[in-house]
Amino acid sequence: MSQHMNLLLPSFETDKEEYDERKTTDHGGIGGSVWRFKGNKAAKEAASVSMKGTLARLFDCCSKDVKKTILPLGHGDPSVYPCFQTSVDAEEAVVESLRSGAANSYAPGVGILPARRAVANYLNRDLPHKIHSDDIFMTVGCCQGIETMIHALAGPKANILLPTLIYPLYNSHAIHSLVEIRKYNLLPDLDWEIDLQGVEAMADENTIAVVIMNPHNPCGNVYTYEHLKKVAEVARKLGIMVISDEVYNQTIYGENKFVPMGIFSSITPVVTLGSISKGWLVPGWRIGWIAMNDPKNVFKTTRVVESIKEHLDISPDPSTILQFALPNILEKTKKEFFEKNNSILSQNVDFAFDALKDIPCLTCPKKPESCTYLVTKLDLSLLEDITNDFDFCMKLAQEENLVFLPGEVLGLKNWVRFSIGVERSMLEDAFMRLKGFFARHTKTQLT
Ligand SMILES: *Cc1c(COP(=O)(O)O)cnc(C)c1O
């Protein structure tokens, strides 16, 4: 049992004694042989690449003896910090939904009409080919959108094109659904653009989709109109759809304007995945959507729509209370709310980007303009006794109670990611500790 069960605000508090007591009773003989049941191993490999598993291991490296608070910068959930609270308008919308008494019943598998209509309206603000409420499916956060799309497209020999740096849940579901993963590169020196030649080279007749993240978590770039158009053209040439994860479309503080992939749906069909988790700072509310941008009805003729519906019919739905509240959340939240959050993030990025100059072993190729992370390349040649990104993060946790995420989990070995969606004081503290850590592990100069 991990001593840090709550990944969000890990502390040294635990209910461990209770668990220890319970463990000693009724263990069913040697090896538990009395019992005929045991846990299924099917998800083992899929879960082993998940972020939660790695973070739990890193938190377990932290120790009271270090006499420092745990700084959990390995994952991002800004909503736990006082400076990142959701909008009052969104809270009111949920209260109103709850009190109305109209949201106590089951919802249809695809979601309730007012929610689907509200998402269509919200997305249509930026789309030339208007989507309809029928093109929207409500999901339990964007996570269920990922799961649903991969399950809906899976089949014998299927493969899917994923970026090397990715939200790891895509890998987990692909593994779980026996869909082969083919990884395309992102080019750090070209604003993390997609290596489109690579994409073209690795696709074949069994490729079901190319997945892109825009804005890109964790790289923090926002793709240009021109680049996205090229993505659509390559997909068209290959005869595949684009799945565009746009969960961070409200979290943008740089120069590049966000362009929804759906704009290019006349070139190739596009599935957009979204949710309110990141933009509204409410990942615990668990509501998101799948949007079909498909003016030529390709998804109908290929049975993709049917397959999504079938999958949703046998999956849990997002709470009706949240579905009922969604129109007001999307329509009534003021732009000042997003501006304030983005301004804090932008200042945090400026601070951290600058502070990295004092930590030569970590370099960030491009200052992020969206999302809540810094992705840095780890230069092992400057360090004495660190073997890789995982080792770096383990020792950082052991010696400083500072948790960063090894890039390996996201697909890039010897990179390190940390969150800037935290209180400013935590970032300052983190860099103090990093400096000490670097000083202790830096290679002594050979003259
Ligand atoms: C957080 C995140 C998700 C999951 O979103 P939820 O709405 O919390 O389920 C999916 N994709 C990316 C890129 C994310 O960062």
Return the structure tokens found at 90. 């969104």
Question: Among the atoms of ligand 1, which is closest to the Cα of residue 287?
Answer: 7
Banded pLDDT at 33 (limits 50, 70, 90): confident
CA of 47 to the centre of ligand 1 (A): 16
Find the 25 Cα to ligand 1 centroid distance in Å.
40
Using 50, 70 and 90 to split pLDDT, how confident is the model at 24?
low
> Does residue 265 sit in the same domain as residue 151?
yes
- 1, part of any domain: no
Q: Say what the pLDDT of residue 355 is.
A: 98
Measured CA distances, 86 to 56, 288, 308, 318, 341 (Å):
27, 16, 31, 19, 9
pTM: 0.92
For residue 111, tell me if it sits in a domain. yes
- Give the domain CATH number at 306: 3.40.640.10
Same structural domain for residues 261 and 314?
yes
- Establish how many alpha carbons lie within 13 A of residue 350's alpha carbon, considering only the half-sphere containing its beta carbon: 8
The answer to whether residues 236 and 342 belong to one domain is no
Residue 35 lies in a domain: no
**291 found inside a domain:** yes
Is it the case that residue 293 has pLDDT exceeding 80?
yes
- Do 222 and 324 have their domain in common? yes
Is residue 447 scored above 50 in pLDDT?
no
Q: Are residues 181 and 282 in the same domain?
A: yes
Answer with the residue of higher pLDDT: 12 or 435.
435
**Structural domain for 227, as ranges:** 88-332
Q: Please choose from 150, 217, 246 the residue to mutate so as to test ligand 1's pocket, defined by most ligand atoms within 8 A of CB.
A: 217
The pLDDT of residue 40 is 84
Query: Does residue 346 have a pLDDT over 60?
Result: yes
**Are 123 and 212 contained in the same domain?**
yes
Q: How far is the centre of ligand 1, averaged over its atoms, from the C-alpha of 149 (Å)?
A: 14
- Quick one: average pLDDT of 165-174? 92
**pLDDT at 48 (0 to 100):** 73
- For residue 59, the model assigns a pLDDT of 94
Q: Report CA(389)–ligand 1 centroid distance (Å).
A: 24
445 or 30, which is more confident?
445
Using the structure block, give the residue that is written with the tokens 């409500």: 138
Question: What span, in angstroms and rounded, lies between the C-alpha atoms of 415 and 376?
Answer: 6
For residues 188 and 203, state if they share a domain.
Answer: yes
C-alpha 273/C-alpha 42 separation (Å) is 26
Asked if residue 274 belongs to a domain, the reply is: yes
Q: How many domains does the chain have?
A: 2
- How far is residue 346 from each of residues 78, 222, 382, 442, measured CA to CA in Å? 14, 14, 29, 30
**Residue 255 or 329, more confident:** 329
Of 310, 332, 354, the residue that ends a domain is 332
Among 311, 332, 353, the domain-final residue is 332
pLDDT at position 20, please? 59
The percent of residues above 70 in pLDDT, for the chain, comes to 92
pLDDT average, residue stretch 262-289: 98
Q: Are residues 269 and 352 in the same domain?
A: no
**Is there an atom of ligand 1 within 6 Å of 288 CB?**
yes
At 14, the pLDDT band (50, 70, 90 cuts) reads: low
pLDDT at 5: 46
Cβ-based neighbours of 327, under 8 Å, separated by 6 or more: 93, 114, 115, 117, 118
Determine the pLDDT at residue 1.
Answer: 38
Residue 243 has pLDDT above 60, yes or no: yes
In a domain, 414, yes or no: yes
| Mean pLDDT value across residues 397-425 | 95
> Residue 283 Cα, ligand 1 centroid: separation in angstroms?
8
* Claim to verify: residue 188 and residue 223 sit in the same structural domain: yes
pLDDT at 357 over 80: yes
17 within some domain: no
* DSSP symbols for 27-46: --SGGGTT-------TTHHH
What average pLDDT does the structure give for the chain?
93
Check if 247 has its Cβ closer than 6 Å to any atom of ligand 1: yes
> How confident is residue 306, by pLDDT bands cut at 50, 70 and 90?
very high
| pLDDT level of residue 235 (50, 70, 90 thresholds) | very high
The number of beta carbons lying within 10 Å of the beta carbon of residue 303 is 11
Q: For ligand 1, say whether the CB of 167 is within 6 Å of any of its atoms.
A: yes
The CA 29 to ligand 1 mean position distance, Å, reads 43
Tell me: do 236 and 291 sit in the same domain: yes
- Distance in Å, CA 278 to ligand 1 centroid: 7
Q: Name which of 13-22, 152-161, 408-417 the model is least confident about.
A: 13-22
Confidence band (pLDDT; 50, 70, 90) for 32? low
Exposed (0-12), middle (13-18) or buried (19+): which is 356, by Cβ within 10 Å? middle
Question: For residue 39, what pLDDT is reported?
Answer: 85
Which pLDDT value is given to residue 90? Answer: 98
Task: Answer whether 217 contacts ligand 1 (Cβ < 6 A).
Answer: yes
**pLDDT of 9:** 63
Among residues 294, 311, 332, the one where a domain terminates is: 332
How sure is the predictor about 202, in pLDDT bands with cuts at 50, 70 and 90? very high
pLDDT at 37: 86
Percent of the chain with pLDDT over 90: 84
Mutate to test the pocket of ligand 1, among 247, 273, 405 (most ligand atoms within 8 A of CB): 247
CATH assignment at residue 66:
3.90.1150.10
Q: Looking at the structure, tell me whether residues 138 and 58 fall in a common domain.
A: no
Is 320 found in the same domain as 204?
yes
